[in-house]
């Protein structure tokens, strides 16, 4: 008669158990919160006075390129400036389809379409333009580097309108320009100057000497 020897049961390998546990954990469903991170909160862009130079009449050509007037061959005098940025809510969500208006004086300090008909004047500068933000809140303009006038430092005026009636009117200043003595900034709250200052840098692939700057706008 044959006898069958029973082998003792083998002890489970602790490393194998650890690997099995890790695999089981990886197969668990991932919570929705981890796959959709919350956008960081943003500080609202400070508002600034509209001033007396918002257009009284709007030009027939009011696209986002202020350096070229429809029907004119010559381009605006001044240093070309490519301005871009994004429009956000305070909770960091992009505001698609927001309307962004930009107006500023020409290289001689004249505001077009605002009753400022003095000379000299650059009639090849559009003076006012409108851009519509895309679905990610991105907007862009081509204009000229702003120049000082009437004791004020170089600046550009911006107005943003978004769905639901949210409106922001402000001014953008240039880093490195003399801003300390400006009466508008002096009347603003602490920290406004830093939030409304934009750095400029040369851009490649554009006109010689062209500058570029980025400025994000955050609505309340």
Instruction: Going residue by residue through the chain, which has 220 residues, state the pLDDT in tens, using 9 for 90 and above.
Output: 444 344 444 455 544 444 444 344 333 444 444 455 666 788 999 999 998 999 999 999 999 999 999 999 999 999 999 999 999 999 999 999 999 999 999 999 999 999 988 899 999 999 999 999 999 999 999 999 999 999 999 999 999 999 877 799 999 999 999 998 899 999 998 889 999 999 999 999 999 999 999 999 999 8
**Confidence (pLDDT) at 7:** 41
Peptide bond into 120 cis (omega under 30): yes
**Confidence (pLDDT) at 4:** 39
User: Is 69 part of a structural domain of the chain?
Assistant: no
pLDDT tens digits for range 90-137: 999 999 999 999 999 999 999 999 998 889 999 999 999 999 999 999
User: Is 57 part of a structural domain of the chain?
Assistant: no
Query: With contact defined as beta carbons under 8 Å apart, do 194 and 205 qualify?
Result: no
Q: What span, in angstroms and rounded, lies between the C-alpha atoms of 161 and 197?
A: 21
Cα-based torsion angle of the residue sequence 70, 162, 175, 105 in order, rounded to the nearest 10 degrees: 30
Query: With contact defined as beta carbons under 8 Å apart, do 98 and 160 qualify?
Result: yes
DSSP state for residue 7 in the 8-state scheme: P
Number of domains observed in the structure of the chain: 1
pTM of the model: 0.81
**Confidence (pLDDT) at 11:** 52
User: Is 96 part of a structural domain of the chain?
Assistant: yes
Cα-based torsion angle of the residue sequence 167, 104, 111, 78 in order, rounded to the nearest 10 degrees: -170
Which structural domain range is residue 154 located in?
80-219
User: Is 90 part of a structural domain of the chain?
Assistant: yes
For the purposes of burial, counting CB atoms within 10 Å of the CB of 157, is it exposed (0-12), middle (13-18) or buried (19 or more)? buried
User: Is 24 part of a structural domain of the chain?
Assistant: no
Residue 191 sits in a domain whose CATH number is 2.60.130.10
User: Is 12 part of a structural domain of the chain?
Assistant: no
Q: How far is CA 27 from the centre of its chain?
A: 41
**Confidence (pLDDT) at 35:** 53
Q: What span, in angstroms and rounded, lies between the C-alpha atoms of 219 and 87?
A: 8
**Confidence (pLDDT) at 38:** 66
**Confidence (pLDDT) at 25:** 39
């Amino acid at each position: 008669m044959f006898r069958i020897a029973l082998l003792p049961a083998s002890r489970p390998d602790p490393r194998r158990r650890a690997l099995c546990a890790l695999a089981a954990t990886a197969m668990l469903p991932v919570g929705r919160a981890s796959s959709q991170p919350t956008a960081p909160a943003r500080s609202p862009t400070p508002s600034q006075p509209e001033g007396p130079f918002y257009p009284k009449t709007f030009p027939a050509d009011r696209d986002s390129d202020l350096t070229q007037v429809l029907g004119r061959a010559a381009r605006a005098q001044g240093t070309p400036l490519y301005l871009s940025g994004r429009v956000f809510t305070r909770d960091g969500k992009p505001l698609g389809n927001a309307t962004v208006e930009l107006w500023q004086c020409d290289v001689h300090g004249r505001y077009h379409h605002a009753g400022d008909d003095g000379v000299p004047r650059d009639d090849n500068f559009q003076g006012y333009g409108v851009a519509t933000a895309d679905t990610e809140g991105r907007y862009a303009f081509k204009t000229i580097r702003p120049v000082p006038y009437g004791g004020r430092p170089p600046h550009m005026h911006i107005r943003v309108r978004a769905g639901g009636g949210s409106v922001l009117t402000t001014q953008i200043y240039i880093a490195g320009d003399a801003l300390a003595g400006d009466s508008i900034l002096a009347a603003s709250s602490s920290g406004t100057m830093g939030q409304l200052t934009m750095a400029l840098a040369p851009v490649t692939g554009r006109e010689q000497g062209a500058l570029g700057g980025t400025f994000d706008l955050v609505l309340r």
